[in-house]
């Protein structure tokens, strides 16, 4: 399938590892130029070096903390200047604050909101002037099935991803008349580096493989964790011309997890 991404310019937040890195690689393979951002300079540099190995890749890396509004604005403007615009924004930055209601401090709540909901708000707001100049503007928010399938053991994520879900919906409604398409990809259990933190807090006595197997047996009809490339392909599709009549959608990549209609 030809996705028509050649010549498009994409920005992927949290792009140095995990899903963000996989999405960046997928978009590069489809012919887009890609900028990634993340907080850690060494990780950004390593990711750019690796992504540059994709044949014909045009890729840049930017160190940015998406919880800093001024830094986000400067980074987005720098990306647009370097790449000649922004056609696709993938809001992937996130982090894990697992735990039940009584485990979470005010600071945990603030950090979780900041890195999930407010990062999407800040990056979309900063990118909006550039998206308006694009012939095919797209925003894809990486969210979670917990937005509609709350779990008290992922209390903060369940609450805050619900807000991210509705952010996608209202952005799609407000900017649809301008041709800006906004969609969510809601993931379930996908193997990414943040699961090390979750396992350490919830089940440090288990190996990673044991922890994944136990969770998947309880929650996932397909009986396994997903992989990054099972997410990145859908993101690339939503960024493409083939998805030109899809906006305001939330599509699960979760192996059947998410018991809602």
Residues 11, 20: Cα–Cα separation, whole Å: 10
Q: Is the dihedral of CA 183, 166, 133, 70 positive or negative?
A: negative
Extended beta strands in the chain, E state: 9-13, 33-38, 59-63, 88-91, 138-144, 181-187, 250-253
Residue 187 has pLDDT above 70, yes or no: yes
Looking at per-residue confidence, does 4 or 231 come out higher? 231
At which residue do the structure tokens 């993101």 appear? 235
pLDDT class for 259, splitting at 50, 70, 90? confident
Residues 123, 117: Cα–Cα separation, whole Å: 10
What the block records as the tokens of 174 is: 């407000």
Pair 15, 66: CB distance under 8 Å = no
Q: Look at the chain and count its residues.
A: 261
**Who contacts 56 (Cβ-Cβ below 8 Å, separation ≥6)?**
31
- Give start-end residues of each CATH 3.40.50.720 domain in the chain: 9-188+230-252
**Who contacts 162 (Cβ-Cβ below 8 Å, separation ≥6)?**
146, 147, 148, 150
Residues 258, 146: Cα–Cα separation, whole Å: 7
Residues 145, 74: Cα–Cα separation, whole Å: 32
> CA nearest 52: which of 26, 80, 25, 76?
25
Looking at per-residue confidence, does 98 or 153 come out higher? 153
pLDDT at residue number 1:
65
Q: What is the pTM of this model?
A: 0.95
The half-sphere exposure of 221 on its side-chain side, counting CA atoms within 13 A, is 7
Which CATH number does the domain 9-188+230-252 belong to among 1.10.4160.10, 3.40.50.720, 3.40.50.620, 3.40.50.261? 3.40.50.720
pLDDT digits (tens, 9 = 90+) for 106-156: 999 999 999 999 999 999 999 999 999 999 999 999 999 999 999 998 999
Residue 95 has pLDDT above 90, yes or no: no
């Amino acid at each position: 399938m030809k996705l028509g991404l050649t010549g498009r310019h994409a920005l992927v937040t949290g792009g140095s590892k995990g899903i963000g890195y996989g999405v960046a690689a997928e978009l590069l393979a489809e012919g887009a130029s890609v900028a990634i951002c993340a907080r850690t300079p060494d990780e950004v540099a390593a990711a750019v070096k690796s992504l540059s190995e994709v044949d014909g890749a045009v890729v840049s890396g930017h160190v940015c903390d998406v919880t800093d509004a001024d830094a986000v604005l400067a980074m987005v403007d720098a990306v647009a200047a370097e790449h000649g615009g922004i056609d696709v924004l993938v809001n992937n930055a996130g982090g894990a604050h697992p735990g039940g209601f009584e485990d979470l401090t005010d600071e945990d709540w603030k950090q979780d909101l900041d890195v999930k909901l407010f990062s999407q708000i800040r990056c979309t707001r900063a990118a909006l002037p550039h998206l308006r100049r694009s012939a095919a503007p797209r925003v894809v928010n990486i969210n979670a099935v917990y937005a509609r399938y709350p779990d008290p053991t992922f209390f903060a994520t369940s609450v805050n991803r619900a807000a991210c879900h509705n952010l996608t919906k209202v952005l799609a409604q407000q900017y649809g008349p301008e041709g800006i398409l906004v969609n969510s990809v809601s993931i379930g259990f996908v193997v990414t580096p943040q699961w090390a933190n979750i396992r350490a807090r919830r089940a440090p006595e288990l190996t990673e493989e044991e922890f994944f197997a136990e969770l998947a047996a309880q929650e996932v009809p397909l009986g396994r964790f997903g992989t990054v490339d099972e997410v990145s392909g859908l993101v690339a599709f939503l960024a493409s011309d083939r998805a030109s009549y899809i906006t305001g959608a939330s599509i699960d990549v979760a192996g059947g997890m998410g018991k809602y209609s």
